[in-house]
Structure 1
Amino acid sequence: MTSAVRRSPQEGKPRLRILIGADTFWPQINGAATFIARLAAGLAERGHDVHIVAPSYSNEKLGQMVEEHEGQKMTLHRVYSWKWPGHPWLRFMLPWRVMHNSRIILDRVKPDVIHFQSHIVIGRGMTLEGSKRGIRLVGTNHFMPENLLDHAFIIPRFLRKKAVRMGWAAAGRSFGRAGRVTTPTRRAADYLEENTLVRDVISVSCGINADGYNGNLEPKPENLIVFLGRLSDEKQIDRLIRAVAILDPALDAKLEIVGGGELEGKLRALVTSLGLDDRVTLTGFVDQDQLRDALQRGSVFAMPSVAELQSISTMEAMASGLPVVAANAMALPHLVHDGENGFLFEPGNVEDLAEKLTRVLTMSADEVLAFKKESLAIVAAHDIQRTLDTFESLYRGDEVTDPAALGKNTEGASF
């Protein structure tokens, strides 16, 4: 569900035909796919003609079709793809097929702007063919080659560093074709600039419809720790489970892990081996109502991930009025202000994570209330309508200043 339409700085201007190139999209569930759906729905709600090029995950439904996402109808162009060996959701296409599909789709749609969400497969084809046609290109980076290589078992470990460099070089080539490049946070923008020749990257929050979450400030009846997200290696959920195992039994703390993924079986086995079956629940994939219910019941949100370029899950928890304990890594410190709306812990340090969780669970009611209110205040700066305003300006070629350069606290993805 998107926020109610408000007056936009772009109101009254001609509508745009926007083509979004996505290497991941529904039915896959991850931060990038969620952002793309919400962005597309918000743009469609504002009257734009939105098209999305995305993989077909069954290869049965191919070509152009109308789909509904986040309550809005949009045109999908599903292309033939294969599963990337060892990766939970990434699909790939043969280079000549990508170029062929890109040519056909661009000549059919004739977009005013192409907004590509990664450089890996579809983004590469769209930027190459879009450049030939003189179409405005806007790129957003959600990915780190290091994360992709964690699943690339076909690449020997001694070649990983070289492969990472090649991955960043490929990213630099695709994003170098764009007129403007964005990432969800300033830290992610700096990271992209450090590893490529791309410059003047601006940070634009993925945004969240905070109105869709109930900022519950009431005391909770139990000490429930909640994690929300895909169950993958970089999330380091095993550390969270081990931290719960060493919490003081007197806290009677429980952990609810909301989401599914390739590690679900291993994590269930870990829970059993630690004797935590009565304290740790893994829900698997759930719908939005169940997700919101878990956040409403929670006392504290935990995000142990070391690879968040923003973290939509953390923003959803904050919009629900939760204090947060998060790893002091990548972009999470933009959302979690240590000692104000939660605590940061040393990445991978189980003992430190347990200690920070204990601090939240043993705070006075007044201290918890202050943390909750600060979470709501921080996440308010990530209103999805601000994100839509910014991208509309970028699509039209208007000058956009990075919010971080203005000294505003508007930062805070990945997937």
Structure 2
Amino acid sequence: MSTSFATRSPAVPRAPGRSGGGRPARVLIGTDTYPPDVNGAAYFTARLARGLAGRGADVHVLCPSPCGRPHVAERDGVVEHRLRSLPSLAHESVRLTLPTGVRGHLNRLLDRLRPDAVHIQNHFLVGRMLASAARVHGIPVVATNHFMPENLFDPMRVPEALRPHAARLAWWDLARVLSRTEHVTTPTPAAAELLAGRGFARPVEPVSCGIDLVRFRPFPGSAPAAERRRTRARLGVPDRTTMLFVGRLDEEKHVDELVRAVARTHGVQLVLAGRGAHRARLAELARAEGVADRVVFLGFVPHRDLPDVYRCADVFTIAGTAELQSIATLEAMASGLPVVAADAMALPHLVEEGRNGYLYPPGRPGELAARVGAVVAEEAERVRMGAHSRMMAARHRLEDSLERFERIYRNAAVGARP
């Protein structure tokens, strides 16, 4: 196999993304979800692929076709190998790859590309099949886990009584696939500890999803309040103190707690950016709580407008209890927003209590409302917390994450232990 990611002498640094033989290093990323899918794993994978390509790597992505028809396309410097697919029962934006004929296609693709490393983003159909084929071809496999069973229970309609058994089976299956790879990463230390706590015996390295600090940043200049008013007007958001959530409006996100919290605050509105199965239910809850006029549904926000959505808010709020990192929270922090988050899973890694925001006990919207009130009570305090959020986000630079993955690929390619 190729040794494009061979180790390099510290005294003679090599340009990122270049092989020892002079050609660009080649990576094949396998994923069951990729844009136009709307979820954190899809966004991370796209940023990883495009970021590596921007650093000089030859990047290929194997993923389901959004239209069902197999095809190859190049976007943003990344070659997408789209597999034949059909709609899934799990989520409206996720499609399932048809396994028929995929093994032969993977063998031909690996023979032709001879990637220096394969990087799977999940252990479902695409990741599982690609990892198996790569082992046959002697190509090292790196795996990143974005999965928690809780994220599938609602869309898969798993009965409450069966969920503990389904979770154990899901963790066992995940460990079986990941144990056959050369290196395993996950976005946060909490996510790594979760895998260990579920019986996964291999080392797991936390590597942040990373954040683009140039794209996501506060308003420049000396008049941010005026800019915020203009931005709200452009997006159709009333000019009021705003708590914001960006993400899927699905069960495991517990957005209902945000709606109940805004009903317990004075003069604050909730802006929800995203789609999901619970949108109608949340709208009904807002009417029942008497705050339909203070809950704004933006729906799906185009990628180009997302930075302005964060900049039009005063505080970012998130109630999810199954977050392995939360890219949206990182984007909000990079945009200079204080954060009020559920004290669950990996979210505490993104909140320094009283410095960039507050944690609240999950399931207690009254306490969420009290913490939001504490953040927005004084503008100077809100600005101070937002600046600290921005400083914390700087620890998650996308470039640092890309560089770390490049080193992992190199070490895997030469058989070294990362």
State if a TM-score over 0.5 links the two structures.
Answer: yes
State the shift of 1:269 in Å: 2.2
State the shift of 1:76 in Å: 0.9
State the shift of 1:280 in Å: 1.0
Which one of 163, 167, 170 corresponds to residue 164 of structure 1? 167
Number of the residue aligned with 2:350: 335
CA distance in 1, matches of 2:327, 2:298: 19
CA RMSD, 1 decimal: 2.1
Which one of 365, 368, 382 corresponds to residue 382 of structure 2? 368
More moved, 390-399 vs 34-43: 390-399
- Please say if 1:227 is aligned against 2:235: no
Contact 1:136 1:179 (C-alpha < 8 Å) held by counterparts: yes
Which one of 52, 74, 81 corresponds to residue 77 of structure 1? 81
CA distance in 2, matches of 1:296, 1:129: 45
Q: Residue 339 and residue 400 in structure 1: after superposition, are their counterparts in 2 closer, same or farther (change >3 A)?
A: farther
CA distance in 1, matches of 2:13, 2:36: 33
Which one of 277, 290, 294 corresponds to residue 262 of structure 1? 277
CA distance in 1, matches of 2:199, 2:107: 27
The residue type equivalent to 2:394 in the other structure is: A
Number of the residue aligned with 1:125: 129
Contact 2:32 2:124 (C-alpha < 8 Å) held by counterparts: yes
- Superposed, 1:147-186 pairs within 5 Å as 147-153=151-157, 155-186=158-189
Contact 1:10 1:393 (C-alpha < 8 Å) held by counterparts: no
CA distance in 1, matches of 2:14, 2:417: 13
- Superposed, 1:319-358 pairs within 5 Å as 319-358=334-373
The residue type equivalent to 1:394 in the other structure is: I
Number of the residue aligned with 1:112: 116
Q: Secondary structure at the match of 1:23?
A: coil
CA distance in 2, matches of 1:346, 1:268: 24
CA distance in 1, matches of 2:405, 2:326: 19
Q: Secondary structure at the match of 2:63?
A: strand
Q: Residue 98 and residue 32 in structure 1: after superposition, are their counterparts in 2 closer, same or farther (change >3 A)?
A: same
Deviation per residue, 1:216-260 (Å, 9 max, x gap): 48457741111111111111111100110121x3xx111111111
Quick one: percent identity of the two aligned structures?
A: 40
State the aligned residue count. Answer: 384
- Superposed, 1:84-99 pairs within 5 Å as 84-99=88-103
CA distance in 2, matches of 1:321, 1:101: 46
CA distance in 2, matches of 1:160, 1:10: 49
Q: Residue 330 and residue 105 in structure 1: after superposition, are their counterparts in 2 closer, same or farther (change >3 A)?
A: same
Q: Residue 245 and residue 189 in structure 1: after superposition, are their counterparts in 2 closer, same or farther (change >3 A)?
A: same
- Please say if 1:207 is aligned against 2:207: no
State the shift of 1:86 in Å: 4.1
Q: Which runs of 5+ in 2 are unaligned?
A: 1-11, 230-239
The residue type equivalent to 1:171 in the other structure is: L
Contact 1:215 1:319 (C-alpha < 8 Å) held by counterparts: yes
Contact 1:10 1:392 (C-alpha < 8 Å) held by counterparts: no
Q: Secondary structure at the match of 2:336?
A: coil
CA distance in 2, matches of 1:190, 1:320: 29
Question: TM-score under structure 2 normalisation?
Answer: 0.87
More moved, 185-194 vs 76-85: 76-85
The residue type equivalent to 2:95 in the other structure is: R
Contact 1:87 1:151 (C-alpha < 8 Å) held by counterparts: yes
Q: Which runs of 5+ in 1 are unaligned?
A: 1-7, 402-415
CA distance in 2, matches of 1:26, 1:135: 26
CA distance in 1, matches of 2:247, 2:13: 34
Number of the residue aligned with 2:4: none
CA distance in 1, matches of 2:328, 2:260: 21
Contact 1:189 1:202 (C-alpha < 8 Å) held by counterparts: yes
Which one of 218, 232, 237 corresponds to residue 255 of structure 2? 237
The residue type equivalent to 1:390 in the other structure is: R
Which one of 5, 25, 28 corresponds to residue 19 of structure 1? 28
State the shift of 1:78 in Å: 0.8
CA distance in 1, matches of 2:282, 2:13: 47
State the shift of 1:20 in Å: 0.4
Contact 1:182 1:203 (C-alpha < 8 Å) held by counterparts: yes
The residue type equivalent to 1:279 in the other structure is: R
Q: Secondary structure at the match of 1:87?
A: coil
Q: Secondary structure at the match of 1:129?
A: helix
CA distance in 2, matches of 1:135, 1:298: 46
CA distance in 2, matches of 1:10, 1:205: 24
Q: Secondary structure at the match of 1:240?
A: helix
The residue type equivalent to 1:397 in the other structure is: N
Contact 2:86 2:98 (C-alpha < 8 Å) held by counterparts: no
Contact 2:149 2:170 (C-alpha < 8 Å) held by counterparts: yes
State the shift of 1:98 in Å: 4.3
Q: Secondary structure at the match of 1:52?
A: strand
CA distance in 2, matches of 1:201, 1:368: 36
Number of the residue aligned with 1:36: 45
Number of the residue aligned with 1:409: none
CA distance in 1, matches of 2:261, 2:68: 42
State the shift of 1:80 in Å: 1.6
Q: Residue 9 and residue 142 in structure 1: after superposition, are their counterparts in 2 closer, same or farther (change >3 A)?
A: farther
CA distance in 1, matches of 2:100, 2:197: 31
- Please say if 1:387 is aligned against 2:401: yes
Number of the residue aligned with 1:312: 327
Contact 1:98 1:121 (C-alpha < 8 Å) held by counterparts: no
The residue type equivalent to 1:31 in the other structure is: G
CA distance in 2, matches of 1:21, 1:226: 32
The residue type equivalent to 1:275 in the other structure is: G
CA distance in 1, matches of 2:148, 2:14: 32
CA distance in 1, matches of 2:364, 2:111: 52
